[in-house]
Each structure stands twice: as structure tokens, then as C-alpha cells.
Structure 1
Amino acid sequence: MAVYILSNRKIVRHKGEKVDSFSNDEYSIPNFRIAKCDFDNYKEPSPAAKKKKDYTNRNILNYKLFSEPEKQGYEEVLEVLLSEKGIKESSLTANNLGGTQRLFYELYKNMSATKDRSDVLIFIHGYAYDFDDELKAMIDLKKLFIDNPSSPVEHILFVSWPASSSIVPLTYFDDKASSINSGTSLLRLFYFYTQFLKDIFSNRDLVPCNQRIHIMTHSLGNRVLQSMLYSLKRENILRVIDQVILLNADVSYKVFEDSEDSFNKLPLLANRISIYLNRQDLILGISQYTKNILTPRLGKNGPSDITPYKDIVSIIDCTFVKDDVLNSFRYEVGNHWGYLSSSQVQSDIFQNLYGIDRNLISNRTKDNENIFTIIS
């Protein structure tokens, strides 16, 4: 089990600390860094601790930044793996690896060590998260997807992009710009990963782990994914993702059209795409009428036309689900966080991640060939 952070936030050294940390600053930098969260020594804080002003950064959740790699590429990863199998002698160890080298090495080792499901979930958060909010979200996601036996996920890669810490409407435009910039980091990760696959599995002594990788995006996090897809060349796309889960997506309802040239690339990247929407989503309603020139949002209205992809893309209507996990005013009125607030949505997502045929997922009604409604 592991939770990793992929972030293009600024790196800072906080007063009194001896190690580098991610910043709460609201702007992105060109390069991303990778960190690993430390849950071995994690203790649930008391309500009093949460109220303290020092309940920030590593007081919420400890993490360790990976060093930058001394050499680019994955030849040293291959050398370490072959050395560990006794095939090649080398003085290199895993401690010599940095950045994505260390990330991919650890994931491959852990995912290869079991015959059970040991999937990776790449999660991209939405609007108005500072880094402290992200750390809290990582704890919640671990409980939901890793600790839960109903989920096949064993590892989470949390994409940390510097959204604004305020929910003031004008900050939305800053977040749109930041999400576009952050898509470049995700694109680089994709290219690094495909290069890793080519470098490692060109050697016959190493075999794929046959586990699955999924992408889940919430709200404005879908724009990060869209930014990556804009720049992704079709000839460079490999189908390396199993499920793509689009939650309450704050992007145009036309993103699957060829004129947008973004989400229409997802069927080349993934085995299955699921659009979870809520037609009473207040947050997306505000987004549509105040910030996006009346353009309907994918996560509220559904896509304009996915006829070419109806065998791969499913639409799941969550309008009538109950908020029985989290039922505060924010969740009940917003109708924007069903994956956190509703056990019905969570169950549907788990079944999706397990790869159950979309026509056999429980507690759904079939409205059309690829349109479903979760029933209460």
C-alpha cells in the first residue's frame, strides 16, 4: 500500500524544518516533484489538534520528497531489477533511484508481488484546494479506496495542482489557468511511464505485473486531464489505462466532439470511460451561468454526442442518490461530491473499477444502451 504525491507546487523550506516541503502558494512551476506519504506513523488527530494554527503540512500527514534522478531514463531501474533477480551484478540499489524512477520501481515491485488485485488510482482533485486541503483529501481517499475491502485499489497517485484556497468566484479563473498549466505535468508523467514500459519490458527477464491503472478526476480536475489530452499526440497514445472515471466534470459538454480534440482521445487511452453526473449539481450550475458563458457542463448535463464511443463510454446519472455517508449542508445542497457523500455512488465506482460489465452493475436502471441511473 502506498500513497504518492505528484505536484508542480513550489518547493519551500518552512521555518524550523530541516526538510523541503510543498508550498500552499497558488501558482504552478514548470517541473513536478514526487513524494511518498508516511502512513506507518500516522495518527488520527483529535478535534483540538485540528483547531490549532499549526495543524498544517506535515502535522496533517507526513511525506518525503524523492530525490531528483542523477540520470534520465530507466536503464538504472532495469539494472536494479535484474540485480535483485540475480541476473546481473550491480552496485546500484533502489536508494540510487530518484523521481519517477523510484515511483515506477516501487509500484512495479509491489504490484508484481501479489496475484490479488493491486490497482493504482491516479486522482486529480477539483477547485479551491490548497496543499493542506489536499493532504486531508489524501487521508480520506486512502480510507475510501485502499482501506475498503470493496475496492481493488492498493496505491494512489494524487495529482496535486495549485488551486486557489478561496472559493471566491474570481479565483475560479486563476484555477482554470493553473489547471491548464498542470496538465503539462500530467502529460510528462504519461510519456515517462510509456518510456518506462518500453525500457523495462524490452528485457525478456521481466514481465508485466498485469495489474490495472485507473484515472479519476473530480470537478475542475477534469480540465487538468483535458489540458493533457490537448497536447497528447494520437500516434503516441498507448492504451495503458483501464478505467477513466469522470466525476461531476467541470468542462464543456462538447469535450468528446472532434472539434474539441481532447476527450475524444480517451478511448485510445483507456478500456472504459464513465461519466458520473448529477443534474442538480449546484456548483456546476453556478459555473455554467457565471463563469463559462452559459456553456453546459459535462458533469451536470452530460455529453453532447458520444455516438462514436457508445461501446466504451457510459453515462451514470447520480441525481437521485442519497447522501448517507456525508450529509452536511455543503453536500446536500451542492450535489457535487457524490463520490464522498453517497455509499450508492461509491459502490457503483467500486464495481466499475473491478471491471464488472456495465449492464451487470447492481442498483442501476438502464435508460439507454450506455446511459444508466443509480437507483435509491
Structure 2
Amino acid sequence: MLFITSRMPTVNTEPALNKDFVFDLQNNSSSRSFFCCTRHKKGKYEEIGSMNLLKSLKAAKVRQVLVYIHGFSNLPEDVFAATEELQKLCDKKKSGEVLVLPLVWPCDADLGIIKDYWDDQKAADQSAFTFARVMQRFMEWRNSVEYDPEDDPCLKRINLLAHSMGNRVLRQTLSNWKHYDQPQGLPLLFRNTFMVAADILNESLHKGEAGELISHASRNVIVYYASDDLALRASKVSNLKNGEASRRLGHSGPENMELTPKNVYAVDCDDVNTLYDPPKGHSYFRSGLKKGQPGIVFEHIFETLVSGRVFPNEEYRKSSILSLNKA
């Protein structure tokens, strides 16, 4: 499994590549550098460098790449387990279609969910500086005559799935990328951006707000939300400390769809989220009622990946409700 991380290793061998990359799980500060690695097996990782990772992605016999940004309180092996589940579900639907590439940012290993939450918010914001460098490195590679020549261009479509606080990482990453490297505006990099149980304010995607850049960098932006997501209820209470009284995007969808860019869509998952992830109803985007069997949220994500259309039979539709009765 290929992955990119802003999490520090126990030993940093820069500029040489680290053949025995070991995560420092007690350090949740983001590295200024990013590390491109491969996971050989549980607990065995090797740093391969950005050019080798991009070369491997280009050579992979798949049509699309799905970048996965995980949520808070996930240690690396938690992220890899979720990635493996996503990959197996994709392969089960259509072999050779999608390769899942996780971005691993440094969640906290402390006990206590509230302390973890605040530490992880800080780590998410710090990691955004690092992942903005990932975006810029990719653009430089894609525009390189040496690495991506016109007679052999990389034609893979790039998509992104951000879960929970991973949406904060995404929002801040694009903001930093524009500020430091793309002041004229962000390129249309992602075919689809899936925002699942997003732990950011529900006004974030409105025009003029910080999250509007997500729609600039994406052909489609799909928000999956559920009003009874217990993890986001706790998040709302926690954020009162910072004066954020608004609901979370993953609770209600966009506050006002008329204020969002036209490529933003909302999908209500209230009917299935707690069935797929009892009792919290927060990680409902992978398997359904049975592990290894796709749920209808994943089915919608995958159909959108393949078709490039959120509601292919209804051109002007902007929202929907996912229900087992419709499956």
C-alpha cells in the first residue's frame, strides 16, 4: 500500500530515504516535510520518495486514484485498516478501477477524547501546510516534460474522500496552497470530492467562506451528512469553547444550498448511518450491514466515481436521501 504522511518518524534520515520508517506515535506535531512511503505489512513501512510514489501511481493498472484523508483519533494502522476496507470494496465493485491513497496526519495517542479532539485540531491545521506542498509537488510533476511527457501523460482521474476532521485538513490545505503557491486560483485537480461527516461549520462551503476553494478545485463536491451523528454532536459541544455555535456540515449539510457554488451536492444519510456504524453513526461510508459488503453510501460514492455524475439521471438535482427502501 502506498501512502503519504506528515507524521514524524522516530528517526529522520533526510535527505536519504528511510528504509525502516517507524512512526513516532508519541509526537502529534506535523512534520514540515512530507514522507512518501509504502506499507509492506502491518508495522513495516519504507520511505520511497515522492518521484517513486508518483511513478508508481502512474504505472498502476487502474483508471482512477482516490485520495483518502482520515478523521481524528486515528493512528496509522487504523487508517490503513480503513484504507484496505475501502480498496477491497472498490475492487469488489470493479477490479482495476480505483487505487486508494491515504494521507496520514498525526492524530493524538493520548487517552481522553476531549484532549485528543483539541490536539487533533491543531495537528490538522499544521498538517495543511505540509499537504499543500504535496499538492504543489504533484503539479510540478504533472507539468514536467521529464516525468510526465506529452507523448506519455498520466491520464488517471484524481478524486478525494475526506472523513470527519479530515475535511478540516482539506479546507486548510487548499487555503494554504492558494496563498503560497497558486495566488491566481486553484487548478481543477479533483474529479469528485466526497465530504463525509465533515467536522467543519455548515456554512463552510458558502461563497466567500474558506471552504469555497474546495469547489474551485473539484468538478463535483458531494456532502454526506446525518443529523444523528453522535460524534459530531460531541464536536459541536466541544467547539462552543471557541465560540463556534453553528452546526457541523456533517450534521445538516450546507446551511443554505442557494449560497453554495453550483457544483456542490448534498446527500442525507440519516436513514442508514447508525445501522452501518452503531451507535455513533459516524463512519458509515464503507461497509453496510455486514463487513465487506458495500453499504448504499459507498455504492453512491462508487457510482459517482465511475460516472463522474452525482445524480446521472437528473441533471439539475442538488440533493437526495439515501434509504434502504430505495436500495
- Give the TM interval when normalised to the shorter protein: 0.7 to 0.9
Matches within 5 A, 1:262-277: 262-277=210-225
Kept in 2, the 8 Å contact 1:256–1:263? The answer is yes
Alignment of 1:158 with 2:159, yes or no, is: no
For the residue of structure 2 that corresponds to 1:105, the secondary structure is helix
Matched, 1:282 2:225: no
Hey, what's the Cα distance between the residues in 2 that align with 1:319 and 1:351?
Answer: 20
Q: Distance in 2 between matches of 1:144 and 1:203?
A: 30
How has the CA–CA distance of structure 1 residues 203 and 138 changed in structure 2, closer, same or farther, with 3 Å as cutoff?
A: closer
Change (3 A) 1:307 1:134: same
| Superposed displacement of residue 205, structure 1 | 5.0
Structure-2 change in CA distance of 1:346 and 1:202 (3 Å)? closer
Q: Which residue of 1 aligns with 2:24?
A: 23
Q: Secondary structure at the match of 1:23?
A: coil
After TM superposition, list the pairs within 5 Å mapping 1:18-97 onto structure 2: 19-24=20-25, 25-38=27-40, 60=42, 62-66=44-48
The superposition leaves residues 166-202 of structure 1 with CA deviations (integer Å, 9 ceiling, x where unpaired) of 4521221110000001111211111111111111389
Cα shift readout 1:113-168 (whole Å, capped 9, x = no counterpart):
xxxx52111100001112232233333233233x3234764322211111113452
The residue number in structure 2 matching 1:12 is 10
Note the C-alpha offset of 1:23.
2.0
TM-score scaled by structure 2?
Answer: 0.83
Give the structure-1-normalised TM-score.
Answer: 0.73
Q: 1:230 aligns with which of 175, 178, 191?
A: 175
Offset at residue 21 of structure 1 (A): 1.5
* Larger of the two Rg values belongs to structure: 1
Alpha-carbon separation, structure 1, partners of 2:200 and 2:318: 20
2:194 aligned residue: 245
- Equivalent residue pairs, number: 303
* % same residue: 22
User: 2:271: which partner in 1?
Assistant: 320
Give the deviation of 1:8 after TM superposition: 1.4
Match of 1:297 in 2: 248
Q: 2:51 aligns with which of 85, 89, 101?
A: 101
Report if aligned partners of 1:152, 1:350 keep a CA contact under 8 Å in 2. Answer: no
1:128 and 2:73 equivalent?
yes
Match in the other structure for 2:305: 353
1:289–1:153 CA distance, 2 compared to 1 (3 A): farther
Cα distance in 2 for residues equivalent to 1:26 and 1:341: 29
Cα offset, 1:304, TM superposition: 2.1
Backbone CA RMSD of aligned residues? 2.7
Counterparts of 1:351 and 1:153 in 2: how far apart (Å)? 11
Deviations 1:242-262 (A, max 9, x none): 1100000000111123443x2
Tell whether 2:158 aligns with 1:213. Answer: yes
- Consecutive unaligned residues of structure 1, counting only runs of 5 or more, are 43-59, 67-98, 112-116
Aligned counterpart, 1:333: 279
Q: Which runs of 5+ in 2 are unaligned?
A: 12-18, 289-294
Mean CA deviation greater in 275-284 or 19-28: 19-28
1:149 aligned to 93, 105, 110, which one? 93
Deviation at 1:321, TM superposition (A): 1.9
Deviation at 1:64, TM superposition (A): 1.6
Preserved contact between residue 135 and residue 177 of structure 2 (Cα < 8 Å): no
